[in-house]
Amino acid sequence: MHPFQYQRATSTAQAVAAVAPEPGATFIAGGTSHLDLMKEDVHRPSRLVDISLLPLKQITALAGGLRLGAGVSNTAAAAHPEIQRRYPVVSEALLTGASTQIRNAATLGGNPLQRTRCPYFRDPAQPCNKRAPGSGCAALGGINRGHALFGASDACVAIHPSDLAVALAALDAVVQTTGPRGPRAIPFPELHRLPGATPQVDTTLAHGELITAIDLPAFAGRSHYLKVRDRASYAFALVSCAVALEMDGEHVRRARLALGGVAHKPWRLPAAEALLVGEKPSEKLFRAAADAAFADARPLEHNAYKIPLGRNLLVQALLETSGLQALAGPAGTAFAASVGGLAGTFPAPY
């Protein structure tokens, strides 16, 4: 591990001022991703600015939705009664993402910013354009079983690892930030980038721009998250799926679908979403949507299995979210709470 300076911020303005002028400086909160990268000699910050004491740990009401402070722990968010009742896809994604110990430390602002788990990125002995621009992409000719089906480039085929990010993409969440140029709101689909020729740049955040909150819009439907992984718990997704459905009687009024484990960012499925609108849920309809979702997939040598796996996972998620099949798996608790209805008043703030 290389030497670095450490500074604890007492305000967002102080944090931004400490990071923005120094190219090698970065924010740290829970540190569950940063510290691993530093130990592996992948990340070499010149300064860590600790934001863990900033007043960003509240969940409050917001125009029919919720504002989640960036400093809220993954555990606190997953267990929050209004998230479980109204946005179970968020709770389920968080619960499938890590052990309790990691969720206790990890924060909502940091979770979507975690970097890829591509083994070539995390091995300094291997060429990787994301870690060392211009060095090449070892995954292209290497073992690419876990890599991208969509949006990849000749420079990078890595995938984004966050479960939470997939859920937020399906909900059309909005990221609130503050930075050297002041505050701004970023629609979640615009937060992450595809690799193109500059895979070392993961997001559209400016250097020194700090996430302060994540806004969940008003939502009066059903949502659900499913994930397939190599082992039963605490593993990153081979493929994951977030579904948000709003119904008009027996027909789909609006559908929002996102995949994880298949691209450099959470992957929305507009063609599949359009097929569902105005239709009555059925397995036949869902299979047509799944076929449309993967029509543009571009498999690598070792990851073509993700296409049938992803199709079947999307169908299963739609069947469970629509109520055509019973929920499967331990994550159903949060979703089941939402199915009981949305009646009752909602106090604010918490």
Strand partners, 240: 227, 260
53, part of any domain: no
Percent of the chain with pLDDT over 70: 93
Facing residues of 246 across strands? 254
Q: Which stretch of DSSP H or E encloses residue 283?
A: helix 283-293
- Position 208 in a domain: no
Of 65, 92, 64, give the one whose Cα is nearest residue 77. Answer: 92
- Specify if 305 maps to a domain: yes
**Mean pLDDT lowest among 34-43, 47-56, 67-76, 195-204:** 34-43
The predicted pLDDT at position 165 comes to 98
Query: What does residue 127 show for φ and ψ, rounded to 5 degrees?
Result: -70, 135
* Least confident stretch, 115-119, 158-162, 325-329: 325-329
Residue 237 lies in a domain: yes
SS3 (DSSP) at 45: coil
* Residue 56 tokens, joined: 């960003």
What confidence tens digit (pLDDT) does each residue in 171-204 have?
999 999 999 999 999 999 999 999 999 999 999 9
Residue 211, SS3? strand
Choose the weakest-confidence range: 16-20, 147-151, 281-285, 326-330: 326-330
Residue 286: inside a domain, yes or no? yes
pLDDT for position 149: 98
Confidence at residue 11, expressed as pLDDT on a 0 to 100 scale: 97
Q: Is residue 133 part of a domain?
A: no
- DSSP bridge partners of 6: 48
In this structure, what token pair is assigned to residue 71? 């400093």
Higher confidence at residue 248 or residue 334? 248
The per-residue pLDDT for range 253-298, each reduced to its tens digit, is 999 999 999 999 999 999 999 999 999 999 999 999 999 999 999 9
At residue 332, does pLDDT exceed 90? no
Other beta carbons within 10 Å of 134: 8
User: Whole-angstrom Cα distance, residue 340 to residue 17?
Assistant: 47
- Tell me the angle at which helices 283-293 and 306-322 cross, rounded to the nearest 10 degrees: 140
Distance CA 277, CA 221 (A): 14
User: Does residue 276 lie within any of the structural domains?
Assistant: yes
Give the DSSP H/E element, type plus range, for residue 244: strand 239-248
> Which is more confidently placed, 329 or 97?
97
* 214 is a domain residue: no
Which pLDDT score, from 0 to 100, does residue 305 have? 98
Give strand pairing partners of 213: 69, 176
The tens digit of pLDDT for each residue in 79-107 reads: 999 999 999 999 999 999 888 899 999 99
pLDDT level of residue 342 (50, 70, 90 thresholds): very low
What is the band of 232 on the pLDDT scale with cuts at 50, 70, 90? confident
| CATH (domain of 273) | 3.30.390.50
| pLDDT of 248 strictly over 60 | yes
**How would you classify residue 126: left for phi > 0, otherwise alpha for psi between -120 and 50, otherwise beta?**
beta
Mean pLDDT of the chain: 92
The total of structural domains in the chain comes to 1
Distance CA 203, CA 2 (A): 25
Q: Which domain holds residue 262?
A: 222-331
Higher pLDDT, 340 or 137: 137
